Structure 1
Amino acid sequence: MERRSGFWIRLGARLIDGLFMAGVVYFLILIFSLDTQSAAVQAGESALMILYFVLVPVLWFGHTLGKWALGIRIVRDDGSEVNFLTMVIREFLVGLLYAVTLGIGIIVSAFMIGLREDKKSIHDLIAKTKVIYGRA
């Protein structure tokens, strides 16, 4: 039987991913002497983050670097691998929902992961995904 990952392990994976991506962005800023106050550079940073969280799990069997390091991964509800559309819904479209609710959706999702028996958040329910222990 699969074990679902809870709030703290998912938060840890997201922090690892955030630190990794911050390092990548910092490296690119240094290499190309980018102006961090530029709207274009800030938009590029956002696009890079979105691409990382959407494409990497599709290409790496539901893992991001943080999820792989902590031994968890994203799969669809039926246990199959995530695809591009699933990850766009999970990360980008639901991210817009979180923004529209001024962050309240993120707080609700955190409580859902911690309190629901199936450990699903809003983005898991909408995208029909789950986060489980195990590596592909």
Structure 2
Amino acid sequence: MNDSVGFWKRFFAGFLDVLIISLPLSLIFSWITGDWENEDFSTILNLLYMLIVPIVWYGYTVGKRIMGIRIVRVDGRKLGIGTMLLRTFVAGIVYVLTLGIGYIVSAFMVGMRKDHRSIHDFIAGTYVTSEKP
């Protein structure tokens, strides 16, 4: 796990995912429905993107692929739906229940821990690496 990736690469990968995937999805569905305030459908698609794409694309999302990083399991096994559900939904619940404080703590963990693992990495048994599949 000595090739784990720190805060800035992860941050920019997330930013690229928003810029390339999330924002266009929101704009497209807002334009199609004519409802610029209700983003339920695009939110569901974004969650499915974050959940499924890393499973079928060796831990990559579009942003992570551009940044040359990917999600992997600590035990070396292939990512599965259970792992990504833990990483996405269970961690999301933790972040909501702590009113965002958990998210801030996670950012500090990624920036300051030697292994760069966040709360959602610990919950799911994952880390982010620059190692190729």
Query: Is the 8 Å Cα contact of residues 105 and 122 (structure 1) preserved in structure 2?
Result: yes
Which residue, 66, 70, 80 being the options, matches 1:83? 80
Match for 1:27: what amino acid? I
Number of aligned positions between the proteins: 132
Give the Cα separation in 2 of the matches to 1:135 and 1:14. 19
Query: Is the 8 Å Cα contact of residues 25 and 42 (structure 2) preserved in structure 1?
Result: no
RMSD: 1.4
1:32-111 mapped onto 2 (5 Å cutoff):
32-38=32-38, 42-111=39-108
Give the Cα separation in 2 of the matches to 1:83 and 1:56. 11
1:14 lines up with 2:11 in the alignment: no
Give me the TM-score of the superposition, normalised by structure 2: 0.92
Give me the TM-score of the superposition, normalised by structure 1: 0.90
Give the Cα separation in 1 of the matches to 2:95 and 2:114. 22
Structure 2: 5+ residue runs without aligned partners? none
1:104-123 mapped onto 2 (5 Å cutoff):
104-123=101-120
Query: Is the 8 Å Cα contact of residues 17 and 64 (structure 1) preserved in structure 2?
Result: yes
| Percent identity of paired positions between Structure 1 and Structure 2 | 42
CA displacement 1:36-75 (0-9 Å, x = unmatched): 224xxx2212211110100000011100000000100001
Query: Is the 8 Å Cα contact of residues 7 and 111 (structure 2) preserved in structure 1?
Result: yes
Give the Cα separation in 2 of the matches to 1:90 and 1:43. 21
Match for 2:28: what amino acid? F
Give the Cα separation in 2 of the matches to 1:135 and 1:64. 14
Structure 1: 5+ residue runs without aligned partners? none
1:29 lines up with 2:30 in the alignment: yes
